[in-house]
Structure 1
């Protein structure tokens, strides 16, 4: 018995050893395979994929393409790298497109899938042509791998490495590639798809000729019909509301199918859609057993968090997160039902939310690259003047939050050519106004004048020039940096000379025929606050006479409420903003919103809330700009923001705003900054750079581990060092 037991144990230990060895070998193989990745000309895949995504839009079954110019990838691209091999090496080649292969300039016949490179110093080159997809390669050997050390060019004049760096100073630099992390040689870039997971409807109302399915909340993906059989028509009408799904004539999206199935079959709709409800209608002898969906999502990791003593505010934050999740796809898009396009103004707000939710830098970079496209510049981004400026601002903020100097330097040439386009469109007074081909958007608002030289556009222009100066310095273009700084200072002085009205205590909305108008709107004034363009006295004037003045036309879109509430938070009005968030976003929740909308007007009733653009269901009920509480709560209540690029230094200035307590995490490039604040205690822990905790206290605060400095009466500071936890006992004002 013992012999048998010992023999059995030896056998199992031997098997276990072999199994572990096999697993380790597989792990080693996988790790080795992951050092190689698909590479392409910098930025080309971002442009190509955005074209694919934005041309998926349909309206009641009709193809609905974007109305702006769409650029394309370079169709012929050369890749090469030099290797010094200790021994002969077998190398596998995976290529998107037609290609030739050369070793040391000598072509190899045909389209080889595998080659042998002799020992010693050799140059491997692949030249790839592809019209319908991006020329790309995946090279995998023991040491010969495709990665960001390769060189690539679209013309045989200069070489640019795959990370965007030129081999000489004469050429244009481009952006980093490989941010999609495509490391599977059998899944080429053109086959990239977002992942899906199955979900069931929460309720199905069956009828004789169909059913209405409710998925419980706003969602996005592919409808899957199970056990479909019969011959006839099967129509699916989608709705973000039940009213929309039931409106066969007016719903925004639908699928119309003609089937002839003699046996039961599962059917998946070819295009993803946004919906909560679907309404199906059959004719003939069609039958369907059940319905489900494949939820499509981006693989981003939630890092930021927020929770407070107010349950409604917690719900607003959670619904904001879900809204943002739905609109985070291959890129940051505007809304999941209607456009599904990369609008620059919408994306700019998404970048800011992202820094407090995911801190997913690759999606920010992809979106910026996709929007900008290629030279020459023939129109504003999305044809909208203000959207070109938001693109510049997106790069400014990206650098502040990430500290990624390389991306700025890579993108700088494209920034210059876009700014050259803008500068060439100034009028005789050095200001910008509508020109043929432009669209001045600002906001969806009734009776909002876009005529003349609008002050809001000049402010965005000025900030964009400041951005150009910063990026020129980072790119060692000192002459250009000085020029952009000069232009920005001159424009800023001109803005206050021409638009500031002492009697109205604000910037007026516009100038027409060289004369300032009497009209005062919120837009330029609220941006002037958080751009820090006003003096302290002017800020107080604007707050009283514009932001807190009900006589000034109110804003009804979450898009501009974002900036209005940010301006108020920057002025210390967190208690007021808390009430506004609860009224505005809470108002949508009371109407049953499971994601936040493109526009909300509390004066509307019933199905009026679904209408927009002259269509009964034209409004998006899941719009990225509706998720702004993520940003506001992270930056102005938890109070965390970078003071120098990449959070090398930062500030933590928690504000309760009338809440009993708040807690949460703000992600940074180095990790999270955790904050807790009640009326008696503040806790901070960080793995980022050097922080400064600022707070006010009625009594003298105490702490066992922190050196507390009194800056002025009732105002205190604590230096927050990396990897240390701080607990402060104080009395809130």
Structure 2
């Protein structure tokens, strides 16, 4: 009977022209095939950065590796790169793929006389220094900080005779290959990167007459795109996890560039479902606060009421838990991990100021959500909690993070925060909380100053070879710094190997961290001036701020289609705007 039913199903599948995956799953794998949401593509290296010799002895015909490969090996020995190690020199080559990516590598080993597999060492690097590092060589300053945490980036591999092998995955731009076996020839036809990414359109855009700002906007968008893997990650090499505070700048960038994406909801739900109350998300109380704020912003942009209703029970219980941590004097007493960002991690006074502010912001977000859900009880609870919190006004302690959050919470006048944030320019800016520093400057109308900071701080990473934005960047370290795409030079400060702090010391630091993408969302919101006013982007206010720019144009995704704007500064300094929006959207 089972055989007959299976045969009937088989005939049905044939007659309905079902997709191959569905057919194979039902026909051969009993429904066990799970579709990969990620697209794969192959990339050829663009440059040979270094090789162990240039005398055509250990490394021959290396330029072959820069040519396109169609994936099919042949029995011909023509057009092959040859590696050969001996007792004096190890055959090695360092390849540059031109841009940071997430994925693995494919090595096509060509025909040779002996069929025994040959051993190679593979080192992936987000910088040249990382790809050239030796984890076990503590005699080289900085180089011992390279790790295999979260993803293998330094490993030994056996290559087959006349075969292709794929391994991965990690975040990298550079690949070093060393032939470990001696006195044997290793012919290689190709070394390709296997690029893994979500095949989604870039609906948002930004362009102005400052090419540096254009590149920064695009780099922030690309940084987040790489971190949109199975879930919304922090980093693609290290921290391939869902951190519920860190995702907020990423969500704002996704809203700005890609529009409504299921990976955001999937990641927020992951935080909820893996954090039974009274636990805090990721063990950090502020990250549960950010979860509430993220839901407010997500609904404001996309207006998915059914999804918001799914959060109601957990949200209400979480808000009541937070309120239980507010003292009679209005002071927050949150337990769990007390954390804002790494640069402030050792300053308990600044952390308190930030947590007081974030608690206010979470209650304000909760009030908005409760209103949209028509939950009067929760709405009133949030209003009262916010009023109580405003009774306690901590100092900003001259700290940029604290001043920014106090301003965004409405507890510090913007014109009082701006001098703190702008003190010494980009010095003491941060990759994560830099977004909120920029937002606080916008509240004070300091758009020109904020654009200068973006140009200096995020632009300095580009000057140092960045193609994605970093987990951490100390602005002062840019001086006499070695760019990430250059070979180590003892006379210069190695920006990757010698820098870092906390959990990202030296080469362990991630050079592709989604929380650093804030300028992308900020430039669209404040230079293009696109501000969402009512849920679902039904009402959008457009108020451009060009600063020293002469024009700015771009697009913005909404549930009803893309809004496009173009702003041109006239001779009298006034701005002429052209706006095109779907008919469902009211433009103010």
TM-score range, shorter chain: 0.7 to 0.9
CA distance in 1, matches of 2:33, 2:286: 33
Alignment deviations for residues 428-448 of structure 1 (CA, whole Å, 9 cap, x no partner) = 64533363xx22221221674
Question: Any conservation in 2 of the 1:596–1:626 contact (CA below 8 Å)?
Answer: yes
TM-score normalized by structure 2? 0.77
What SS class does the counterpart of residue 565 from structure 1 fall into? helix
What is aligned with 1:278? 175
Q: Which residue among 137, 146, 156 is the counterpart of 1:257?
A: 156
What SS class does the counterpart of residue 552 from structure 2 fall into? strand
Shift of 1:112: 7.0
What is aligned with 1:678? 568
Shift of 1:140: 9.4
Question: Any conservation in 1 of the 2:325–2:332 contact (CA below 8 Å)?
Answer: yes
CA distance in 1, matches of 2:370, 2:23: 37
Matches within 5 A, 1:445-460: 445=343, 448-450=346-348, 454-460=352-358
Higher alpha-carbon Rg: 1
What is aligned with 1:81? none
What is aligned with 2:462? 589
What SS class does the counterpart of residue 321 from structure 1 fall into? helix
Which has the larger share of strand?
Answer: 1
TM-score normalized by structure 1? 0.63
CA distance in 2, matches of 1:142, 1:642: 48
Is residue 2:367 matched to residue 1:489?
no
What is aligned with 1:475? 373
What is aligned with 1:292? 192
Alignment deviations for residues 669-714 of structure 1 (CA, whole Å, 9 cap, x no partner) = 1111111111123211111544444xxxxxxxxxxxxxxxxxxxxx
What is aligned with 2:407? 529
What SS class does the counterpart of residue 349 from structure 1 fall into? helix
* RMSD, aligned α-carbons: 3.1
What is aligned with 1:620? 510
Question: Any conservation in 2 of the 1:455–1:495 contact (CA below 8 Å)?
Answer: no
CA distance in 2, matches of 1:380, 1:309: 45
Question: Any conservation in 2 of the 1:392–1:415 contact (CA below 8 Å)?
Answer: yes
Decide whether aligned partners of structure 1 residues 267 and 286 sit closer, same or farther in structure 2, where only a CA change above 3 A counts: farther
CA distance in 2, matches of 1:473, 1:233: 63
Question: Any conservation in 2 of the 1:556–1:599 contact (CA below 8 Å)?
Answer: no
Alignment deviations for residues 479-518 of structure 1 (CA, whole Å, 9 cap, x no partner) = 23322222222223x234xx3xxxxxxxx04xxxxxxxxx
What is aligned with 1:66? none
Shift of 1:368: 0.7
Matches within 5 A, 1:180-579: 186=25, 190-204=34-48, 205-207=50-52, 208=58, 209-227=91-109, 230-249=116-135, 250=144, 251-253=146-148, 254-259=153-158, 261=160, 263-269=161-167, 271-284=168-181, 285=184, 287-289=186-188, 290-374=190-274, 376-427=276-327, 429=329, 431-433=331-333, 435=335, 438-445=336-343, 448-450=346-348, 454-492=352-390, 494-496=391-393, 499=394, 508-509=395-396, 519-534=397-412, 538-544=413-419, 546-550=420-424, 554-579=427-452
Shift of 1:469: 2.9
Question: Any conservation in 2 of the 1:221–1:293 contact (CA below 8 Å)?
Answer: yes
Decide whether aligned partners of structure 1 residues 260 and 478 sit closer, same or farther in structure 2, where only a CA change above 3 A counts: closer
Shift of 1:477: 3.1
CA distance in 2, matches of 1:452, 1:600: 20
CA distance in 1, matches of 2:353, 2:267: 28
Q: Which residue among 630, 653, 658 is the counterpart of 2:543?
A: 653
Shift of 1:663: 0.7
Decide whether aligned partners of structure 1 residues 185 and 376 sit closer, same or farther in structure 2, where only a CA change above 3 A counts: farther
Alignment deviations for residues 619-651 of structure 1 (CA, whole Å, 9 cap, x no partner) = 211111222221111100000111111122110
Which has the larger share of helix?
Answer: 2
